[in-house]
A and B are shown apart, each in its own frame.
Chain A
């Protein structure tokens, strides 16, 4: 499989120009930043708080923007043009993910700066965040592909933002409702527990299981988004 950087870059350039003229979608990056400003000033943030904002950034910026830009391509019939071009599924999906990745990275860095998050082992944290981002890109792609319009996309992404952005709230209910114990394995919860371990000085030997769970989510996200994309190539 060969990838054409020219094609990927063309989609990136187009999305970059287009997104900044799309205030409805691009303004979503303000949500985690405003929360970071608010919480960063009023209290001394804990890991839970840092990761509430980081997970919110991943769910609202990464998943939502990816979902919205793909849903809009579908709604305006421009995705069909890309699908009928020589660009491969990988070139299109990578090209369409790059703007989301750039905005997500900027948002997370700004949020971490505003809340004063300075991880003990930055390399491990960055690895975990990159893998998490792949999962959120996958889920955003899937929801964007199954939405018919950008408005529909902004509705169906809401449970994702709630579950993964504020999912740590559900952890408090696990003791009372054991059936919710699956929540512990959600990628956002794994990321928080991973971050606690990192701050406690854990090495890779103690951290790999968290990375494995998040990676499993990411792999499932990529595979499903590829399957849904292939299905959407056909009008059946």
Chain B
């Protein structure tokens, strides 16, 4: 499958501070890739370079075969959607007026407004003035605006950070449907469950470098330590190591019919992140 994004040896330096260092990755058409990392790890800088808002210090980045230095062209903008923490809405106008503007900017029929508002569960709220909306509703309007023109490639920078779990889940379902229709999604998040739920591949970004990049399942397999937790009839839970020692102990419990349940100790993406970077994945 063709690569939509190709990044080679990308680096960005602000003053003396390296925001990105030797970053390499490709994104295939139809993929959902997640960039995971704490604040300041380089996630937003990567998105800004890939959307033509920032020029790299060195290295190459191209999207749809267009070099990053030429990403400010209208034909490229028509194919992408960007939702970031510095996206804004016109506070004195209604949701409808905000979306009408973007329908016309992208030459999209205005009936599309209703489709995207339904997608973010705001179908009955379009007359509301934006300044009266909660943070979560504002975030959903921004997402609706980003989806208006059905972009081929969607950049989402912490898309559900302001949303409650129910709304986050609804947005995830919407994004999955969009992805099934062929939209490639580049997502940054510090929410491991969001990454697990949505992403085909995840990259761990720390101090401007990609520490790991693979499918979540493959990462869990790679970092699994083989231990199991055994719940016993006396209420205790014991953790058994991999290898003959653990197997023997398990055999003892089983032969005495003391076992209630056995669970594998699969690491979460959060555990792996800590293991690789030595840091918690904090906001």
Chain A residues proximal to chain B, CB less than 8 Å? 4, 6-7, 9-11, 13-14, 17-18, 21-22, 76-78, 80-88, 233-236
Known contacts: A17-B93, A77-B86. The answer to whether A234 contacts B106 by CB under 8 A is: no
Q: How many Å lie between the Cα of A118 and that of B280 in the bound state?
A: 74
Contact B72 A233 (CB under 8 A): yes
Interface check B90, CB cutoff 8 A: yes
- Chain B interface size, as a band, is 20 to 34
Taking CB atoms, residues of chain A closer than 8 Å to B82 are 84
Chain B's nearest CB lies how many Å from the CB of A167? 34
Task: Bits for B51-66, please: 1 = Cβ < 8 Å to A, else 0.
Answer: 1111100000000000
- Does more than half of chain B's interface fall in helix, strand or loop, or is it mixed? loop
Taking CB atoms, residues of chain A closer than 8 Å to B91 are 76
Contact A77 B105 (CB under 8 A): no
Taking CB atoms, residues of chain B closer than 8 Å to A17 are 92-93, 97
Q: How many Å lie between the Cα of A182 and that of B18 in the bound state?
A: 47
Taking CB atoms, residues of chain A closer than 8 Å to B164 are none
Contact B90 A87 (CB under 8 A): no
Contact B102 A85 (CB under 8 A): yes
Name 17 A/B residue pairs within 8 A (Cβ), A-sorted: A10-B101, A13-B100, A14-B100, A17-B97, A18-B92, A22-B92, A76-B89, A76-B90, A80-B87, A81-B88, A81-B102, A86-B74, A86-B75, A233-B72, A234-B54, A234-B55, A235-B48
A-B pairs with beta carbons under 8 A, tally: 80
Task: Bits for B71-97, please: 1 = Cβ < 8 Å to A, else 0.
Answer: 010110110101000111111110001
Q: How many Å lie between the Cα of A85 and that of B93 in the bound state?
A: 19
Taking CB atoms, residues of chain B closer than 8 Å to A21 are 92-93
Chain A's nearest CB lies how many Å from the CB of B43? 14
Which of A4, A77, A88, A234 touches B88 (beta carbons < 8 Å)? A77
Contact A6 B107 (CB under 8 A): yes
Taking CB atoms, residues of chain A closer than 8 Å to B55 are 234, 236
Q: How many Å lie between the Cα of A139 and that of B105 in the bound state?
A: 26
